[in-house]
Amino acid sequence: MWSVPDIRFPDRSRETERFADKMSNLYRKLPKVDIYLEREECREWIAVYGRYQVADVIREALQELRMQMRNGIKEEDFSRTIQNLDAEVVRRLRQKKRQRMIPVINATGIILHTNLGRAPLPSEAAGRVAEILGGYSNLEYDLETGRRGERSSHFEDLLCSLTGAEAAVAVNNNAAAVLLMVSALCSGREVLISRGELVEIGGKFRIPEVVAQGGAVLREVGTTNKTHWEDYARAAGDNTAAVLKVHTSNFRIEGFTESVPTDRLKMLGFPVLEDLGSGCLYPLEHYGFRHEPTVREALERGADVVCFSGDKLLGGPQAGILAGKKKYIDIIRCHPLMRAVRPDKCTVAALELTLEMYARCREDEAVERIPVLRMLTEPAGTVRGRAERLLEMLTKRPPFCVEGPIPSLAEPGGGSLPGQQIPSFCVTVGADREERLMELEAYLRKGDHPVVVRIADHHLVIDLRTVREEETGTLAAALDGGMEVCGIKDPAAAAGMPG
């Protein structure tokens, strides 16, 4: 028997006695988890979700019901809840499943969407990574000598030939790369940074705090909009360890601005360290973007060490890459913090395979095969074609609700190429009431193949730049289902209604 909590009534009038009787009757009607689990339906769920998870979910649902009973649930509400218990358990199990990692269709038009995992890996790379992870590998084993090897050895030569660096090493992410660089090269001494570059990148990553964490002393130089060479020169002294340049990423100052190029900073006689943020390998102005210094360019201009993300414009796995003069990279490699921020084998494998793609392919091929580069550079006409195919696939299109292809603006995202938008095409859904659109948005998000979209100007917007061709069928099916379930109706039906 499940235990019946002792319900105490200070005033045991007949009314409360009757109530207590009624409640203990209800408690007796609560199903017992073990017995409930023996039913045929549960056997099916257990096969899919496992016994523990099913039992947990039943317990949670019953616990919630007990709370309601303590607050005095009506008898008919109690019966209804018990009748609907199976449906509630299934709902909770499905919800738990959505908490696990599953593929998501990104229809937001934001290419490096940090919450959606930033860069999708090239499919060949993803396949090889799975193969390597399924067994043992030569992660830290030199097959030539049969001795212990180094995990960066797998891609160091690729990085060096792609960027012109003398040496390179990878860590878990670029935030770790900046911290490691400062810790290894500046600890206990001063780092000169322009006041225009003391930025917060997002997710609590703030340059002044990272410098402090690295044990260095921040020496602010110049002003927010203008910093001159003389400002650096005045601040430099015996205790200066290095100059740190930081790409302001998600933030741009326009107008009356000035910063000092690396070749001039070199004249101060200190190492110049540069956090490039995105770190692209190809000049992106060929594709209509503003000039963004490539890693090679930053090194050619004299940076001693640069660091950048693996999963921003590079289009690989989450990683931080440090590249530059061998003298400094060797110090970084040997720093005790290196062991704490070293990349795991998934990262090493995925990074190597992505870099190999850059090394092996002509630029036009690489741009085709590395998803981030493809999405950034795909002609708007091709995106339009995908929007047309999506529209053709919709079979339950309520009249006047779905429109497209409509020109839209996609974004690089992830703090890369700030303020630059990419001409794109979208399909929009309108409805007689805004709540229906919010319902549709939630329906798409909670489906078996979740689709993430945005709502703008009283329309649900599906941007096709970030949707893969092979995803359009799934997307169409989800939309068809959602429009039916959410009762999407002609927006003109709401004519005269405000908004």
Ligand X SMILES: *Cc1c(COP(=O)(O)O)cnc(C)c1O
- The contact set with ligand X (CB under 6 A) reads 173-175, 178, 201, 205, 246-247, 249, 275, 277, 309, 320, 415
Judged on CB neighbours under 10 Å (0-12, 13-18, 19+), 86 is: middle
Task: Return d(Cα 425, Cα 462) in angstroms, integer.
Answer: 9
- Region of 331 (left: φ > 0; alpha: ψ -120 to 50; beta: rest) is alpha
Query: What's at 80, amino acid-wise?
Result: R
Give the nearest distance from C-beta 247 to ligand X in angstroms.
4
Separation of alpha carbons 362 and 173, rounded Å? 27
By beta-carbon proximity to ligand X, the closer residue of 201 and 429 is 201
- Residue among 89 and 221 whose Cβ is closer to ligand X: 221
Nearest partner of 435 among 492, 489, 496, 495, judged by Cα: 489
Closest contact distance (angstroms) between CB of 319 and ligand X is 7
Return the residue nearest ligand X (CB atom). Answer: 277
Q: Which is nearer to ligand X, 158 or 246 (CB)?
A: 246
The residue (of 335 and 445) whose beta carbon lies closer to ligand X is: 335
Q: Which is nearer to ligand X, 206 or 468 (CB)?
A: 206
Shortest gap between Cβ of 278 and ligand X (angstroms)? 6
User: Does an H or E element contain 440, and which?
Assistant: helix 434-446
Q: Report how far apart, in Å, the C-alpha atoms of 78 and of each of 41, 84, 93 are.
A: 21, 10, 21
SS3 192: strand
Residue with Cβ nearer ligand X (417 or 479):
417
Minimum CB separation of residue 465 from ligand X in Å reads: 21
Supply the minimum distance, in Å, between the C-beta of residue 275 and ligand X.
5
Radius of gyration of the chain (CA): 29
Which amino acid is residue 192, in one-letter code?
A: L
| Closest distance to ligand X from the beta carbon of 194 (Å) | 13
Q: 54 vs 177, which CB is nearer to ligand X?
A: 177
CA distance linking residue 222 with residue 244, whole number of Å? 13
Smallest distance from ligand X to CB 360, Å: 25
Strand partners, 167: 324
Counting DSSP H helices and E strands in the chain, the numbers are 21, 17
**437 and 431 in contact (C-beta within 8 Å)?**
yes
Q: Which is nearer to ligand X, 58 or 170 (CB)?
A: 170
Q: Look-up: residue for tokens 């019966």?
A: 79
Q: How far is the CB of 60 from ligand X (least distance, A)?
A: 35
Q: Is the peptide bond before 405 cis (omega within 30 degrees of 0)?
A: yes
